[in-house]
Amino acid sequence: MNSNLKLSNESDLLLSIASGNELSYTKLVEKYWQKVLQHALSFVKSYSIAEELTQDVFIQIWEKRDKLAEVKSFENYLFIVSRNLIISHIRKKLTETDTLKDQKLQELFLKPDEQFEFQELVKIINEGAALLPEPRRSVFLLSRIEGKDTDYISKKLGLATRTVRWHLMHALNFLRSYLHNHYIISFLALILLGLFFFK
Protein backbone atom coordinates (compact mmCIF):
# COMPACT_ATOMS: atom_id res chain seq x y z
CA MET A 1 0.00 0.00 0.00
CA ASN A 2 1.06 3.59 -0.58
CA SER A 3 2.65 4.80 2.67
CA ASN A 4 3.44 8.19 1.11
CA LEU A 5 -0.17 9.20 0.67
CA LYS A 6 -0.54 12.80 1.83
CA LEU A 7 -3.41 13.69 4.10
CA SER A 8 -4.32 17.35 4.19
CA ASN A 9 -5.95 17.34 7.59
CA GLU A 10 -5.60 14.22 9.69
CA SER A 11 -7.89 15.36 12.50
CA ASP A 12 -10.68 15.89 9.96
CA LEU A 13 -9.94 12.44 8.55
CA LEU A 14 -10.22 10.89 12.03
CA LEU A 15 -13.52 12.65 12.61
CA SER A 16 -14.74 11.34 9.27
CA ILE A 17 -13.75 7.78 10.21
CA ALA A 18 -15.39 8.17 13.62
CA SER A 19 -18.65 8.95 11.81
CA GLY A 20 -18.30 5.74 9.77
CA ASN A 21 -16.77 6.98 6.50
CA GLU A 22 -15.13 3.92 4.92
CA LEU A 23 -13.27 5.89 2.24
CA SER A 24 -11.49 7.95 4.90
CA TYR A 25 -10.67 4.76 6.78
CA THR A 26 -9.14 3.28 3.61
CA LYS A 27 -6.92 6.35 3.23
CA LEU A 28 -5.71 5.98 6.81
CA VAL A 29 -4.92 2.30 6.30
CA GLU A 30 -2.98 3.10 3.13
CA LYS A 31 -0.89 5.69 4.92
CA TYR A 32 0.02 3.61 7.97
CA TRP A 33 -0.11 -0.01 6.80
CA GLN A 34 3.61 -0.40 6.07
CA LYS A 35 4.62 1.35 9.29
CA VAL A 36 2.54 -1.05 11.40
CA LEU A 37 3.71 -4.05 9.38
CA GLN A 38 7.37 -3.16 9.88
CA HIS A 39 6.74 -2.58 13.57
CA ALA A 40 5.20 -6.04 13.91
CA LEU A 41 8.00 -7.62 11.85
CA SER A 42 10.58 -6.22 14.25
CA PHE A 43 9.16 -8.48 16.97
CA VAL A 44 7.90 -11.53 15.11
CA LYS A 45 10.02 -13.22 12.48
CA SER A 46 7.11 -14.47 10.41
CA TYR A 47 5.81 -12.15 7.70
CA SER A 48 2.41 -13.87 7.73
CA ILE A 49 2.07 -13.39 11.50
CA ALA A 50 3.14 -9.75 11.18
CA GLU A 51 0.61 -9.22 8.41
CA GLU A 52 -2.13 -10.83 10.50
CA LEU A 53 -1.24 -8.59 13.45
CA THR A 54 -1.33 -5.55 11.16
CA GLN A 55 -4.79 -6.52 9.95
CA ASP A 56 -5.91 -6.96 13.56
CA VAL A 57 -4.63 -3.48 14.43
CA PHE A 58 -6.68 -1.80 11.72
CA ILE A 59 -9.73 -3.96 12.42
CA GLN A 60 -9.59 -2.82 16.04
CA ILE A 61 -9.22 0.80 14.98
CA TRP A 62 -12.33 0.50 12.81
CA GLU A 63 -14.33 -1.35 15.46
CA LYS A 64 -13.45 1.35 18.02
CA ARG A 65 -13.61 4.23 15.54
CA ASP A 66 -15.83 6.29 17.84
CA LYS A 67 -12.73 6.91 20.00
CA LEU A 68 -10.88 8.57 17.12
CA ALA A 69 -12.72 11.84 17.62
CA GLU A 70 -10.82 12.28 20.89
CA VAL A 71 -7.38 11.22 19.61
CA LYS A 72 -4.82 14.06 19.65
CA SER A 73 -1.91 12.11 18.13
CA PHE A 74 -2.91 9.25 15.88
CA GLU A 75 0.65 7.93 15.65
CA ASN A 76 0.79 7.58 19.44
CA TYR A 77 -2.63 5.93 19.45
CA LEU A 78 -1.53 3.56 16.68
CA PHE A 79 1.64 2.68 18.59
CA ILE A 80 -0.36 1.77 21.71
CA VAL A 81 -2.86 -0.36 19.79
CA SER A 82 -0.02 -2.14 17.96
CA ARG A 83 1.98 -2.72 21.13
CA ASN A 84 -0.99 -4.16 22.99
CA LEU A 85 -1.86 -6.58 20.19
CA ILE A 86 1.75 -7.76 19.89
CA ILE A 87 1.88 -8.39 23.64
CA SER A 88 -1.44 -10.25 23.54
CA HIS A 89 -0.19 -12.40 20.66
CA ILE A 90 3.04 -13.32 22.45
CA ARG A 91 1.15 -14.06 25.67
CA LYS A 92 -1.05 -16.48 23.75
CA LYS A 93 1.98 -18.25 22.33
CA LEU A 94 3.56 -18.41 25.77
CA THR A 95 0.43 -20.08 27.08
CA GLU A 96 0.71 -22.62 24.29
CA THR A 97 4.37 -23.34 25.07
CA ASP A 98 3.38 -23.56 28.77
CA THR A 99 6.54 -22.01 30.24
CA LEU A 100 8.34 -18.67 30.17
CA LYS A 101 11.65 -20.52 30.04
CA ASP A 102 10.77 -22.41 26.87
CA GLN A 103 13.30 -21.74 24.09
CA LYS A 104 10.41 -21.69 21.62
CA LEU A 105 9.79 -18.11 22.73
CA GLN A 106 13.09 -17.06 21.19
CA GLU A 107 12.55 -19.18 18.10
CA LEU A 108 9.07 -17.77 17.51
CA PHE A 109 9.57 -14.11 18.20
CA LEU A 110 13.17 -12.99 18.42
CA LYS A 111 15.72 -12.33 15.74
CA PRO A 112 19.23 -13.73 16.43
CA ASP A 113 20.58 -10.36 17.57
CA GLU A 114 17.63 -9.95 19.95
CA GLN A 115 17.99 -13.41 21.50
CA PHE A 116 21.09 -12.28 23.39
CA GLU A 117 19.17 -9.31 24.80
CA PHE A 118 16.36 -11.65 25.85
CA GLN A 119 18.82 -13.97 27.59
CA GLU A 120 20.44 -11.06 29.40
CA LEU A 121 17.03 -9.76 30.50
CA VAL A 122 16.02 -13.17 31.89
CA LYS A 123 19.41 -13.40 33.64
CA ILE A 124 18.87 -10.01 35.34
CA ILE A 125 15.32 -10.97 36.34
CA ASN A 126 16.65 -14.16 37.92
CA GLU A 127 19.35 -12.19 39.74
CA GLY A 128 16.75 -9.78 41.06
CA ALA A 129 14.44 -12.61 42.10
CA ALA A 130 17.28 -14.18 44.09
CA LEU A 131 17.36 -11.03 46.24
CA LEU A 132 13.72 -11.35 47.25
CA PRO A 133 13.04 -12.57 50.79
CA GLU A 134 10.96 -15.68 51.33
CA PRO A 135 8.12 -16.34 50.82
CA ARG A 136 8.05 -13.46 48.32
CA ARG A 137 10.61 -15.15 46.07
CA SER A 138 8.63 -18.40 45.99
CA VAL A 139 5.41 -16.51 45.22
CA PHE A 140 7.09 -14.74 42.29
CA LEU A 141 8.67 -17.92 40.88
CA LEU A 142 5.45 -19.92 41.15
CA SER A 143 3.37 -17.12 39.62
CA ARG A 144 5.54 -15.70 36.88
CA ILE A 145 7.97 -18.48 36.04
CA GLU A 146 5.79 -21.56 36.55
CA GLY A 147 2.54 -19.81 35.65
CA LYS A 148 0.58 -20.99 38.69
CA ASP A 149 -2.55 -19.16 39.79
CA THR A 150 -3.17 -17.52 43.15
CA ASP A 151 -5.24 -20.39 44.55
CA TYR A 152 -2.54 -22.93 43.72
CA ILE A 153 0.18 -20.78 45.33
CA SER A 154 -2.00 -20.18 48.38
CA LYS A 155 -2.39 -23.92 48.97
CA LYS A 156 1.21 -24.74 48.04
CA LEU A 157 2.74 -22.22 50.46
CA GLY A 158 0.02 -22.23 53.09
CA LEU A 159 -0.73 -18.54 52.65
CA ALA A 160 -3.98 -16.64 52.37
CA THR A 161 -4.78 -15.59 48.79
CA ARG A 162 -4.68 -11.96 49.89
CA THR A 163 -1.18 -12.51 51.27
CA VAL A 164 -0.08 -14.13 48.02
CA ARG A 165 -1.26 -11.10 46.04
CA TRP A 166 0.47 -8.77 48.50
CA HIS A 167 3.79 -10.60 48.16
CA LEU A 168 3.48 -10.72 44.36
CA MET A 169 2.74 -7.00 44.13
CA HIS A 170 5.83 -6.15 46.19
CA ALA A 171 7.99 -8.62 44.27
CA LEU A 172 6.98 -7.07 40.95
CA ASN A 173 7.53 -3.54 42.21
CA PHE A 174 11.01 -4.52 43.40
CA LEU A 175 11.90 -6.21 40.11
CA ARG A 176 10.66 -3.27 38.03
CA SER A 177 12.99 -0.99 40.01
CA TYR A 178 15.79 -3.56 39.75
CA LEU A 179 15.48 -3.69 35.97
CA HIS A 180 15.27 0.08 35.74
CA ASN A 181 18.49 0.36 37.75
CA HIS A 182 20.13 -1.93 35.21
CA TYR A 183 19.04 0.39 32.39
CA ILE A 184 16.64 -2.12 30.84
CA ILE A 185 14.67 0.35 28.74
CA SER A 186 14.47 -1.13 25.22
CA PHE A 187 11.12 -1.78 23.61
CA LEU A 188 11.88 -5.51 23.57
CA ALA A 189 12.36 -5.31 27.33
CA LEU A 190 9.05 -3.47 27.71
CA ILE A 191 7.26 -6.24 25.83
CA LEU A 192 8.95 -8.91 27.92
CA LEU A 193 8.13 -6.97 31.07
CA GLY A 194 4.53 -7.07 30.00
CA LEU A 195 4.81 -10.84 29.64
CA PHE A 196 6.47 -11.33 32.97
CA PHE A 197 4.61 -8.76 34.99
CA PHE A 198 1.07 -8.28 33.75
CA LYS A 199 -1.88 -10.61 33.40
Looking at residue 2, its pLDDT comes to 39
Using the 8-state DSSP alphabet, how is residue 3 labeled?
T
User: What are the DSSP calls for 106-145, one per residue?
Assistant: HHHH--HHHHHHHHHHHHHHHHHHHTSPTTHHHHHIIIII
Looking at residue 192, its pLDDT comes to 53
- CA dist., res. 150 & res. 157, Å (int): 11
Looking at residue 5, its pLDDT comes to 39
- CA dist., res. 160 & res. 144, Å (int): 18
User: Could you tell me if 171 and 140 are in contact, meaning their C-beta atoms sit under 8 angstroms apart?
Assistant: yes
How would you write the pLDDT of the chain (199 residues) with one tens digit per residue? 333 334 448 888 899 999 999 999 998 999 999 989 888 887 776 788 888 889 999 999 999 999 898 888 888 889 888 888 887 777 666 555 444 444 555 554 555 555 666 667 777 888 888 999 999 999 988 887 776 788 899 999 999 989 998 998 888 888 878 877 775 545 555 555 554 544 3
Looking at residue 183, its pLDDT comes to 58
Looking at residue 137, its pLDDT comes to 93
Looking at residue 117, its pLDDT comes to 65
Using the 8-state DSSP alphabet, how is residue 71 labeled?
-
Looking at residue 101, its pLDDT comes to 47
Q: Is 24 exposed, middle or buried (0-12, 13-18, 19+ CB in 10 A)?
A: buried
